[in-house]
């Protein structure tokens, strides 16, 4: 489109230039002819005076003398002077018979009287050549035709048009090529965007639109916005895939965990239904086993409900809680359950935090429950509460067997039990969920054979002492 508009502009400019040049040159010729015609009228001469071949030059010199002899000779060579009788026939001038050009001029004019009355010269063709002609009437009534060739003028215009036709397309081709190169260079980021979109549509979510060397401001802004959108799309897709994977694994694990107690309960019920439990001791043992499995299934369901609520970002009931008191209570519970276990508490005074008390009690209960379940009963345990760097840290450390690096990386996964131990495998997942609901973090540091330390950090904004 730009090339077409440029072509139209060049064509219009060339046309205006040629028309302007033609008008200017024709105006110069007409001015000279009308000046000669006026000079002859003011000279008051007749055919007797116009008896010399140089009379025309002498008449012209009265108003506009030539700048040089060469100009006069050029004018005489390109001009035609013809005197006509009453019938429009050429007359002899200076004793010379009318020439062929004079007769051709008289024949081309047709009506000399109209030229005398007209204020502007006319275009005629004499022997195939273009001329501008006008006429003057002498004092004796003789009509004189004055004509100047415009062949040179038309040659100049023809060459000008020819040059325009030759160089115009070349200029258009050059400008078109430069325009295509410039447009291609500026639109290259858009090509990158198309390639990136196609790659993403084929599954490569890591592709991004690269930056070009000299991008336009708008295109660069579009590239940055598109890359930001693609980053968000990739993050959302990865999150959805991860959530879907976790959900599938969670459902599979939950089904497996619930299948075990249900199978045990169903088996004992079938034994009772078939009358295979005849002895009171057998029936008592079966009843105890079914009650234990029912309790286990109830705890599992409660923990699953807790995780589901934590996943929905529940509104916790925050208030000032003495974390030191909670730690001492948890230590007393552990001493009551395992009297032989050495328990040390580093928590002096009162340390108030703004938190949900039931949530913190659950965190402490799960951390100490893991120690009670996975370490021997005589392994020492240390509970520590401190304020450091504007945050509150609660740590539970034991000197048990610890975990391997692989198990430590999965300790917060749901239904993960290190070494196939007891429990539901949801305790640490609940700890992490509750701590994150408080805006904090939980970390585990462990080394095989050297114990395990779980540290809960609550943010400064969530603590008030």
Closest alpha carbon to 329 in 368, 299, 294, 300: 368
How confident is the model over 12-51, as pLDDT tens digits? 888 888 788 778 888 888 888 888 777 776 666 666 665 5
The CA-atom distances, in angstroms, between 223 and each of 186, 204, 274 are 13, 18, 74
For the sheet with 79-84, list strands across it.
79-84, 143-149, 129-137, 122-126
Q: Are strands 343-346 and 381-388 parallel, antiparallel or unpaired?
A: parallel
Closest alpha carbon to 156 in 32, 24, 11, 68: 24
Q: Average pLDDT, whole number, for the chain?
A: 79
Region 160-168 average pLDDT: 81
pTM higher than the cut 0.75: no
For the sheet with 391-398, list strands across it.
343-346, 381-388, 391-398, 452-458, 441-446
Lowest-confidence region among 144-148, 256-260, 290-294: 256-260
Contact 380, 342 (CB under 8 A): yes
Question: Which pLDDT does position 256 carry in this prediction?
Answer: 64
How confident is the model over 49-73, as pLDDT tens digits? 655 545 544 444 444 444 433 343 3
Instruction: Name residues whose C-beta falls within 8 Å of residue 443's C-beta, 6 or more positions apart in sequence.
Output: 454, 455, 457
At residue 74, does pLDDT exceed 70? no
What is d(CA 223, CA 415) in angstroms, rounded to the nearest whole number? 44
The CA-atom distances, in angstroms, between 460 and each of 189, 354, 440, 455 are 46, 10, 9, 16
Lowest-confidence region among 22-31, 87-96, 318-327: 87-96
How confident is the model over 195-212, as pLDDT tens digits? 888 888 887 878 887 876
Question: Which pLDDT does position 345 carry in this prediction?
Answer: 92
Region 415-430 average pLDDT: 71
Contact 92, 114 (CB under 8 A): no
Indicate the Cα dihedral angle 18, 23, 25, 27, nearest 10°: 180
What is d(CA 153, CA 305) in angstroms, rounded to the nearest whole number? 102
Question: Which pLDDT does position 66 carry in this prediction?
Answer: 43
- Which residue, chain included where needed, has tokens 């010729």? 29
At residue 381, does pLDDT exceed 90? yes
What is d(CA 93, CA 38) in angstroms, rounded to the nearest whole number? 20
How confident is the model over 147-156, as pLDDT tens digits? 888 888 888 8
At residue 82, does pLDDT exceed 90? no
Helices 323-337 and 357-374, interaxial angle, to 10°?
30
Contact 431, 404 (CB under 8 A): no
Which residues lie across from 296 on neighbouring strands? none
Question: Which pLDDT does position 287 carry in this prediction?
Answer: 86
Could you write out the three-class secondary structure of 308-364? HHHHCCCCCCCEEEEHHHHHHHHHHHHHHHCCCCCEEEECCCCCEEEECHHHHHHHH
Chain length of the chain:
465
Closest alpha carbon to 41 in 173, 172, 181, 142: 142
Instruction: Name residues whose C-beta falls within 8 Å of residue 170's C-beta, 6 or more positions apart in sequence.
Output: none
Number of H helices, E strands in the chain: 12, 11
Q: What angle do CA 105, 58, 96 make, to 5 degrees?
A: 45
Strands (E), 239-324: 319-322
Contact 10, 161 (CB under 8 A): no
What is d(CA 8, CA 277) in angstroms, rounded to the nearest whole number? 107
Contact 195, 59 (CB under 8 A): no
Instruction: Name residues whose C-beta falls within 8 Å of residue 366's C-beta, 6 or more positions apart in sequence.
Output: 427, 428, 430, 431
Question: Which pLDDT does position 253 carry in this prediction?
Answer: 66
Coil vs helix vs strand at 397: strand
Region 154-180 average pLDDT: 81
The CA-atom distances, in angstroms, between 130 and each of 10, 26, 88, 147, 206 are 28, 12, 21, 10, 77
Question: Which pLDDT does position 398 carry in this prediction?
Answer: 92
Lowest-confidence region among 83-97, 220-234, 348-362, 373-387: 83-97
Region 118-131 average pLDDT: 85
């Amino acid at each position: 489109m730009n090339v077409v508009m440029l072509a139209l502009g060049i064509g219009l400019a060339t046309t205006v230039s040629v028309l302007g040049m033609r008008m200017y040159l024709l105006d110069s010729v007409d001015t000279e002819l009308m000046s000669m015609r006026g000079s002859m009228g003011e000279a008051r001469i007749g055919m007797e005076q116009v008896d010399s071949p140089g009379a025309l030059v002498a008449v012209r010199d009265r108003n506009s003398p030539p700048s040089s002899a060469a100009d006069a000779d050029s004018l005489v060579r390109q001009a035609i002077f013809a005197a006509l009788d009453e019938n429009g026939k050429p007359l002899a001038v200076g004793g010379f018979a009318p020439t062929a050009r004079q007769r051709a001029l008289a024949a081309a004019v047709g009506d000399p009287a109209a030229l005398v009355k007209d204020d502007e010269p006319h275009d005629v063709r004499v022997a195939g050549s273009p001329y501008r002609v006008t006429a003057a009437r002498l004092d004796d009534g003789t009509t004189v035709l004055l004509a100047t060739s415009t062949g040179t003028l038309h040659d100049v215009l023809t060459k000008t048009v020819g040059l325009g036709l030759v160089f115009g397309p070349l200029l258009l081709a050059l400008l078109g090529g430069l325009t295509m190169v410039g447009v291609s260079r500026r639109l290259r980021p858009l090509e990158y965007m198309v390639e990136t979109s196609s790659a993403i549509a084929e599954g490569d979510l890591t592709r991004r639109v690269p930056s070009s060397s000299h991008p336009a401001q708008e295109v660069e802004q579009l590239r940055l916005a598109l890359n930001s959108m693609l980053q968000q799309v990739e993050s959302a897709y990865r999150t959805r895939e991860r959530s879907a994977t976790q959900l599938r694994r969670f459902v599979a694990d939950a089904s497996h965990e619930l299948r075990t107690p249900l199978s045990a309960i169903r088996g004992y019920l079938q034994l009772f239904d078939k009358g295979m439990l005849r002895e009171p001791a057998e029936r008592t043992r079966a009843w105890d086993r079914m009650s234990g499995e029912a309790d286990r299934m109830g705890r599992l369901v409660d923990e699953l409900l807790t995780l589901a609520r934590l996943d929905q970002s529940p509104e916790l009931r925050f208030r000032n809680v003495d974390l030191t008191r909670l730690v001492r209570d948890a230590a007393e519970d552990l001493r009551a359950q395992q009297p032989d276990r050495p328990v040390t508490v580093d928590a002096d005074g009162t340390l108030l935090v703004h938190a949900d008390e039931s949530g913190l009690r659950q965190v402490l209960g799960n951390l100490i429950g893991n120690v009670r379940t996975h370490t021997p009963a005589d392994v020492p345990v240390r509970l520590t509460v401190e304020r450091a760097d504007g945050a509150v840290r609660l740590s539970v450390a034991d000197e048990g067997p610890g975990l391997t690096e692989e198990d430590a990386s999965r300790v917060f996964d749901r239904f993960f039990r290190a070494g196939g131990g007891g429990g539901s495998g949801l305790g640490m997942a609940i700890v992490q969920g509750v701590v994150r609901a408080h805006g904090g973090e939980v970390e585990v540091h462990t080394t095989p054979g050297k114990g395990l330390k779980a540290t809960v950090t609550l943010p400064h904004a969530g603590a008030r002492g």
